[in-house]
Amino acid sequence: MKIVCIGGGHGLSQVLTALRPLNNDISAIIATTDNGGSTGKLRQAKNCIAYGDIRRCILALANSNNLLTLIAQQRFENAGELSSHSLGNLILLALSQVTQKPSEAIYWLCQLLDVQQTILPMSDQVTDLSATLIDGSKIVGECEIDALTELPQALGLTNPVQAPQQAINDILSADYVFIGPGSLLTSVLPVLLVENIQTALKNTMATRIFITNKTTENSVASLIRNQANELWATKILGFKFYDLILGQDAIFALDDRNLPLCEINQNDTLHDVTQLKHVLSQFICTKNQCKSTYKTNTNIIH
């Protein structure tokens, strides 16, 4: 079974952690427009794509007992210009300078960490997220857009980019495409704004499942009326990018383990990975096994 995951940030790494024991044929297509933290500093200095979310997703799939995995997670402290930088980001930047192509750099870090799944950037080309406000003014940069006090009328990329061909092939051959969770405007939508990814999502025979956030975002996305994030995003994109929505209520409804709440991670913002794994396992099964489960799921997931 072929699975494609789309998004960025902590949300996508959680989904990958949940899926890793269930299926090995996974491709993740990750947003590359982040301009904050260590990633933002590297982008400003080297005009590169954002590596932070890519690093996080690679490490989610790597063996946690691998020494290089532990080293790649480390951040420099009290180290002058290196302070706050993640070593994993620096390794990816160094590899990209050697290979001259971010997707190649990502491939080789995956090889070094023995990550069997496929990690791809939304594009090898540099671009930024751009928002157009109601008065026609434009705001550029994820951090700046997240901090807005009004919802933008449109979102776009500062320059058109194309996804790697493998990302397109994987979407077209997928059985499931999981989108999100994560910051709607700055983790999920950037990938969906890439033109050839849009075309692939429109043409794929895969079931496209939008996993919503556990709680309301602490960003401009909190202004979306009635929290109908998928409807607002569909309007921005100009096409319906999902077939099913897997929200927190549906996740609890599909969790048939009958565990007391105290045994489920009560983190305010992040999904419980064990619970997510159990729910996603109801999709990741053989066709015969899925028949009865799928009928049940379609009554719960809207």
pLDDT band at 302 (very low <50, low <70, confident <90, very high): low
Residue 87 lies in a domain: no
2-53 confidence digits (pLDDT tens): 999 999 878 999 999 999 999 889 999 999 999 998 898 999 999 999 999 9
Q: What range defines the domain where residue 155 resides? A: 3-34+123-300
Residue 277 lies in a domain: yes
Residue 47 lies in a domain: no
Greater confidence (5 vs 293) lies with 5
pTM here is: 0.92
pLDDT at 9: 78
pLDDT at 293: 46
Handedness of CA 156, 161, 164, 170 (dihedral sign): positive
For β-strands 154-157 and 176-179, DSSP reports them as: unpaired
Q: What is the mean pLDDT of the chain?
A: 89
- For residue 12, give every residue at least 6 positions away whose Cβ sits within 8 Å of its Cβ, in sequence order, or none: 5, 6, 28, 30, 53, 57, 180, 181, 182, 187
- How many contiguous H segments (helices) and E segments (strands) does the chain have? 14, 9
pLDDT at 268: 64
3-state secondary structure of 154: strand
CA pair distance 219, 241, nearest whole angstrom: 22
Residue 209 lies in a domain: yes
pLDDT at 214: 86
Total domains in the chain come to 1
- Say yes or no to pLDDT of 79 above 80: no
169-192 confidence digits (pLDDT tens): 999 999 999 999 999 999 999 999
Residue 100 lies in a domain: no
Greater confidence (295 vs 149) lies with 149
Residue 193 lies in a domain: yes
Residue 199 lies in a domain: yes
pLDDT at 152: 97
- Say yes or no to pLDDT of 87 above 60: yes
The answer to whether 74 touches 86, Cβ cutoff 8 Å, is yes
Residue 256 lies in a domain: yes
Domain CATH code at residue 198: 3.40.50.10680
223-274 confidence digits (pLDDT tens): 998 768 999 999 999 999 999 999 989 998 998 887 766 666 666 678 889 9
Instruction: Return the percentage of the chain with pLDDT > 70, whole number.
Output: 88
Greater confidence (201 vs 294) lies with 201
